[in-house]
């Protein structure tokens, strides 16, 4: 139970907090990874923690279907599909976007798990928000008309209730730091729809944890004032949970410096960060979230925003399916051909 909210426990928690020796030595810091890519099923990732709480509420309401929204390659949608499959529910992901000409990456996994993917096409004059809202209503109505009870989960699972998942993760990390003797640690996580960051923020402050927190925005949607946006989200959570403490705008440490200009865009430096981690530690990051954030971490080490010897805890939020998406895989293929040996063996 977190802040009075119950969940359906379907994860094996806590996830490991692992030290990365080669990267630490090379970067001159102590680099730890909180392995939230290992959260159980659907190929894992951060959203399963939030979904434990959504599923409880959905079950309380007698829901038989889950409906959510995101980009066509949404990881959150893929994990919603996984939860729906595991708990015998129907599922639809609504996404505004073109059909990329192939069923790959997350969309492939969605379909393997039996989830419907509704790709909403432009009709000329409506905004993306309008198109999405219309398609969600149509989907909810369709479920109701066929006798189902749909439960709607917002983009990225990022409302107040979704924060419970990362509140719990904040407590895990604090305990693991104590157990492993990690002094003065700082968590660094990606900031997308922000539920991960906000859950960690509230969890750390509410439990008076000494662990610090920095967020790396992965898209310009947090501009111009990421702190103001975070404060607004915090205020919603404060009211929802009835928190008896406040946070100031300045308390939110979120950098806008490493979003690389767009959401899920292919970026050479991000791919290089992915190759670096793969080759040093055998750990796979994705181009949209974890790879971009790790690119930011490498820059922060270079420019002194991360101090030599600092204890950094990176939250691996999953998303590895993204490397197989049409925006990224062909570019990686070009760059990685150099290690392909395609010929008959020498006699």
Ligand X SMILES: Cc1ncc(COP(=O)(O)O)c(C=O)c1O
Q: How far is CA 265 from CA 112, 132, 220, 231, 287, in A?
A: 25, 21, 11, 27, 8
> Which residue, among 84, 75, 94, 76, has the nearest Cα to 141 in the 3D structure?
94
Nearer to ligand X, 143 or 290 (CB): 290
Instruction: Please say whether the beta carbons of 263 and 219 come within 8 A.
Output: yes
Backbone angles phi, psi at 254, to 5 degrees: -130, 125
List the one residue from 18, 168, 172, 194 that touches ligand X (CB under 6 A).
Answer: 194
The bridge status of strand 30-34 relative to strand 17-19 is: antiparallel
Nearer to ligand X, 301 or 323 (CB): 323
Instruction: Please say whether the beta carbons of 326 and 72 come within 8 A.
Output: no
Nearer to ligand X, 30 or 159 (CB): 159
Nearer to ligand X, 318 or 325 (CB): 318
**What are the residues whose beta carbons fall under 8 Å from the beta carbon of 335, sequence distance 6 or more?**
271, 275
Nearer to ligand X, 143 or 294 (CB): 294
Min. distance of Cβ 74 from ligand X in angstroms? 6
Backbone angles phi, psi at 31, to 5 degrees: -105, 120
Min. distance of Cβ 220 from ligand X in angstroms? 14
Q: Which stretch binds ligand X (CB under 6 A): 60-68, 178-186, 188-196, 232-240?
A: 188-196
Q: How many amino acids of this chain bind ligand X (CB under 6 A)? A: 20
Nearer to ligand X, 32 or 285 (CB): 285
Min. distance of Cβ 339 from ligand X in angstroms? 26
Backbone angles phi, psi at 112, to 5 degrees: -60, -35
Please state, in angstroms and rounded to a whole number, the distance separating the CA atoms of residues 264 and 259. Answer: 9
The bridge status of strand 212-217 relative to strand 186-191 is: parallel
Coil, strand or helix at 120: strand
Residues 33-92 that bind ligand X (CB under 6 A): 45-46, 75-76
List the one residue from 196, 209, 219, 255 that touches ligand X (CB under 6 A).
Answer: 196
Task: Decide if residue 289 touches ligand X (CB under 6 A).
Answer: yes
Q: Which stretch binds ligand X (CB under 6 A): 22-30, 111-119, 142-150, 191-199?
A: 191-199
Task: Decide if residue 287 touches ligand X (CB under 6 A).
Answer: no
- Tell me the sheet residues that pair with 150: 65
List the one residue from 192, 203, 291, 325 that touches ligand X (CB under 6 A).
Answer: 192
Q: Which stretch binds ligand X (CB under 6 A): 57-65, 240-248, 283-291, 301-309?
A: 283-291
List the one residue from 30, 73, 158, 209 that touches ligand X (CB under 6 A).
Answer: 158
Q: How far is CA 235 from CA 49, 238, 325, in A?
A: 22, 5, 36
Min. distance of Cβ 196 from ligand X in angstroms? 3
Please state, in angstroms and rounded to a whole number, the distance separating the CA atoms of residues 219 and 71. Answer: 13
The answer to whether the Cα torsion of 290, 246, 165, 77 is positive or negative is negative
Crossing angle, helix 163-180 and helix 47-60, to 10 degrees? 130
Site string for ligand X, 308-327 (x = CB under 6 A): ---------xxx--------
Q: Which stretch binds ligand X (CB under 6 A): 9-17, 193-201, 267-275, 299-307?
A: 193-201
Q: Which stretch binds ligand X (CB under 6 A): 84-92, 195-203, 237-245, 253-261?
A: 195-203
Nearer to ligand X, 176 or 290 (CB): 290
Q: Which stretch binds ligand X (CB under 6 A): 251-259, 282-290, 302-310, 336-344?
A: 282-290
In the complex, the residues that contact ligand X under the rule CB under 6 A are 45-46, 75-76, 156, 158, 190-197, 286, 289-290, 317-319
């Amino acid at each position: 139970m977190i802040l009075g909210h119950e969940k359906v426990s379907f994860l094996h928690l806590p996830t490991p907090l692992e030290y990365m020796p080669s990267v630490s030595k090379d970067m001159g810091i102590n680099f730890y990874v909180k392995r939230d890519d290992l959260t159980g099923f659907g190929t894992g990732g951060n959203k399963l923690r939030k979904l434990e709480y959504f599923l409880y509420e959905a079950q309380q309401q007698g829901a038989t279907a889950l409906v959510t929204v995101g980009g066509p390659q949404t990881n959150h949608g893929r994990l919603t599909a996984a939860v729906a499959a595991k708990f015998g529910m129907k599922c639809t992901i609504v996404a505004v976007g073109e059909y990329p000409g192939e069923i790959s990456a997350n969309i492939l996994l969605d379909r393997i798990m039996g989830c419907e993917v509704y790709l909403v096409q432009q009709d000329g004059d409506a905004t993306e928000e309008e198109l999405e809202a219309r398609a969600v209503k149509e989907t909810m109505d369709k479920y109701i008309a066929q006798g189902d009870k749909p439960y709607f989960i917002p983009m990225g699972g990022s409302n107040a209730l979704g924060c419970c998942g990362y509140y719990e993760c904040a407590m895990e990390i604090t305990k693991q730091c104590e157990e492993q003797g990690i002094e003065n640690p700082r968590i660094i996580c990606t900031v997308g729809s922000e539920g991960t960051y906000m859950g960690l923020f509230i969890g750390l402050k509410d439990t008076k944890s000494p662990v610090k927190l920095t967020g790396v925005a992965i898209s310009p949607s947090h501009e111009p004032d990421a702190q103001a946006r975070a404060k607004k989200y915090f205020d919603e959570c404060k009211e929802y949970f009835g928190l008896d403490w406040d946070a100031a705008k300045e308390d939110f440490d979120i950098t806008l410096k490493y979003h690389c200009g767009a959401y899920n865009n292919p970026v050479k430096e991000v791919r290089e960060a992915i190759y670096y981690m793969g080759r040093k530690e055998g750990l796979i990051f994705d181009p949209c979230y974890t790879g971009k954030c790790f690119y930011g971490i490498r820059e922060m080490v270079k420019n002194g925003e991360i101090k030599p010897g600092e204890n950094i805890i990176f939250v691996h939020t999953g998303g590895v399916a993204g490397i197989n998406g049409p925006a990224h895989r062909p570019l990686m293929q070009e760059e990685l051909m150099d290690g392909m040996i395609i010929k008959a063996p020498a006699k």
